[in-house]
Amino acid sequence: MRILVISDIHANLTALEAVLADAGPVDETWCLGDMIGYGPDPNEVLERMRSLPNLFCILGNHDVAVLGQMDDAVFNTEARRSLTWQKKSVSPENFAYLKSLSQAALVREKVTLAHGSPRDPVWEYILNTLVARLNFDAFKTPYCFVGHSHIQCIFHLDDMRDHVSLEILLPGEVLKMTPRAILNPGSVGQPRDRDPRSSYAIYDPLASTWESRRVEYDVSAVQKRIQAAGLPEKHAARLSEGW
Ligand code: ZN
């Protein structure tokens, strides 16, 4: 069984199409939020996502902001500029779709799905082992999948020693999963680990494996659309370098 795990597409249709093509046939797609924000293609991304069969999706902080359910002042100036543009651009159908999704963490079989963290699903970043350790008490399943930090990694809890380790995952590496762990597939549309390639993961619940993957996409085409839409130059520049 192959489950495509994606997060933080950030209105980048070119990156999303590259990931869907590279992943090949999958049984289900799990999306950990932030389909929009930053990028030039909010409607196209939402429509493409809605067309996927067996999709399970939760909201991220940018999605919640576009729904008007969060004060934009919490975002930096450039992110806010992009959000204002996205709010005006999103069609009524796509708005209704976003509104139907959950801000809370979801449980799918052995996995809890959250955008930021199980303790604070919309906002908290799990960037270090201390925050990860606190979050292991906030979910009951063997595994938790999160996005939000845009970094492909795994936090593993060694129950006997009450110790959490952090491992940055290498593309193409197939990891045999052992409980308990918090795993991040990285970001489809705006990677932040200095590798501009799109990140995602393939999860096989029967074999208990997780494969971190990367795929190149046409960054300059997306940068041109960002510029044409009058969105912040910074959001175009960062895509070339992956930050
Ligand atoms: Zn994000």
Based on C-alpha coordinates, what's the Rg of the chain?
17
Element (H, E) at 157: strand 152-158
What pLDDT is stored for residue 70 in this prediction? 80
> In which residue ranges of the chain is pLDDT below 50?
none
Distance from the CA of 68 to the center of ligand 1, in angstroms?
17
Distance from the CA of 159 to the center of ligand 1, in angstroms?
30
Structure tokens at 201: 């993961």
Structure tokens at 37: 């924000």
- Integer Cα distance of 79 and 175 in angstroms: 34
What pLDDT is stored for residue 74 in this prediction? 80
What pLDDT is stored for residue 83 in this prediction? 87
Distance from the CA of 243 to the center of ligand 1, in angstroms?
12
Distance from the CA of 202 to the center of ligand 1, in angstroms?
19
Distance from the CA of 190 to the center of ligand 1, in angstroms?
8
Distance from the CA of 110 to the center of ligand 1, in angstroms?
24
What pLDDT is stored for residue 42 in this prediction? 97
What pLDDT is stored for residue 52 in this prediction? 98
Distance from the CA of 193 to the center of ligand 1, in angstroms?
13
Complete DSSP assignment for 167-230:
EEPPTT-EEEP-SSEEEEE--SS---SS--SEEEEEEETTTTEEEEEEE---HHHHHHHHHHTT
Enter the pTM of the model: 0.97
Find the domain containing 96 and state its range: 3-241
Distance from the CA of 26 to the center of ligand 1, in angstroms?
23
Distance from the CA of 115 to the center of ligand 1, in angstroms?
9
Distance from the CA of 150 to the center of ligand 1, in angstroms?
6
CATH number at residue 42: 3.60.21.10
Distance from the CA of 130 to the center of ligand 1, in angstroms?
21
What pLDDT is stored for residue 75 in this prediction? 83
What pLDDT is stored for residue 69 in this prediction? 85
Distance from the CA of 58 to the center of ligand 1, in angstroms?
13
Strand partners, 212: 201
The number of folded domains in the chain is 1
